[in-house]
Amino acid sequence: MGDILLLRQLGGVLDRTANEEEQIRDLLIHGLLKVRNKKRRLVKLFPNRAQREYAENCKQRNIVLKARQMGMTTYVAARFFIQTITQPGTLTVQVAHSQDWAEEIFTIVRRFWENLPKKMRQGALVTSRANIRQLVFPRLDSEYRVATAADQNAGRGMTIHHLHCSEVARWSRDGEETLASLRAAVPEDGEIVLESTPNGAGGIFYEEWQRAEETGYTRHFFPWWYDESYRVELKPAEPQSSQEITEEELDLVSRFGLDEGQIAWRRRNRAQLRGLAAQEYAEDPVTCFRASGECVFEMDSIEQTLAGAFDPVESRENGREAMWLPPQAGKQYVIGVDPAGGGTVTVRARVPVEE
């Protein structure tokens, strides 16, 4: 009972002022939780730049747009895990875009529990159920679940206190219905995090980001240079490149303080990924959405045209398929599709039959 009382007291402390709450939560995260770092070593979780900035600015409703490997999935999982084990009666649900990613997330969460002090694991935090998607703490009446976005009924019949939706831009075509079901299960004082790397200027995550002010969500954007490992280590006397620095690079140096090693990494990254670099390693919350892969058309012209267009009369495929004018019987239509960027392309012809 002593351990349970201690955890309850810690949970009560987390209900103090926002500043005190974040300081204490991060102390608990760093003191109790362990993760595998990029060098595959088991280490204490000490928040990085993106994680610290998120902690300072997060609210009850949050949407996170980020470059790859910022550690946000792990950090949100850590925050919610601490809440789950210190506040009895808590249900936390983390939703991934695929079965594989759901299992990967649960591996992170289970590692948190497995590396807690043995006395806690065998006492207050003993589990009655621990499978590939669920940790149940019966002595606290708390639970941590991981699910996939493929379940349209996710959240029905539950009260979810902490909801983390991961890689929302890659959710399936029914993602909008799934998200609506999940959000309906979160009470007003619950916490929601929608998080993703970009995936084109369409779909539910793109729409949620654009409408964040209207829906009351706090935006968080983390560009690639928040990760200090994204740099090329140059020798002291070695110039970063014979190529002259471009105006775009000068702008990044001037505005964000990027150094030669980071510029060298950026050049190498863009040479390797080409058109995907702006999406996978975002630099601003506008251009990262513009295209998935390389586009033969001028994206600025497309953006201007879309900005002046009225709302589509029909939207499907999780917002990726939009119709502005319905097909007319007796008309001929020509469509051109370039699938060279990879992935799957589906073309439908839906022309009404003339009676």
Structure confidence at residue 266 (pLDDT): 95
CA–CA distance, 120 with 175 (Å, rounded to integer): 38
Residue 345, pLDDT above cutoff 60: no
Q: What is the pTM of this model?
A: 0.79
**Amino acid identity, residue 193?**
V
Contacts (Cβ under 8 Å, ≥6 apart) of 218: 57, 58, 59, 61, 62, 63, 212
Share of the chain above pLDDT 90, in %: 48
* Domains of the chain in sequence order: 2-226 (3.40.50.300), 247-290 (no CATH)
Q: What stretches of the chain show up as alpha helix (H) in DSSP?
A: 2-13, 18-32, 49-57, 72-86, 99-114, 118-122, 175-184, 204-210, 212-215, 247-256, 260-273, 277-280, 287-290, 299-307
Please state the rounded mean pLDDT for residues 194-216. 91
- Supply φ then ψ for residue 136, to 5 degrees: -115, 130
Q: How confident is the model at residue 355 (pLDDT cuts 50, 70, 90)?
A: very low
Is 124:139 a contact under the CB 8 Å cutoff?
yes
Contacts (Cβ under 8 Å, ≥6 apart) of 88: 8, 11, 140, 141, 142
pLDDT digits (tens, 9 = 90+) for 120-164: 898 889 998 666 688 999 999 999 999 898 876 777 788 999 999
**Amino acid identity, residue 180?**
A
Q: Which residue has the tokens 């916490």?
A: 191
Residue 277, pLDDT above cutoff 50: yes
CA–CA distance, 88 with 137 (Å, rounded to integer): 9
Top mean-pLDDT range of 67-71, 150-154, 218-222, 278-282: 218-222
pLDDT digits (tens, 9 = 90+) for 214-268: 999 999 999 999 999 999 988 765 555 556 889 999 999 999 999 999 999 999 9
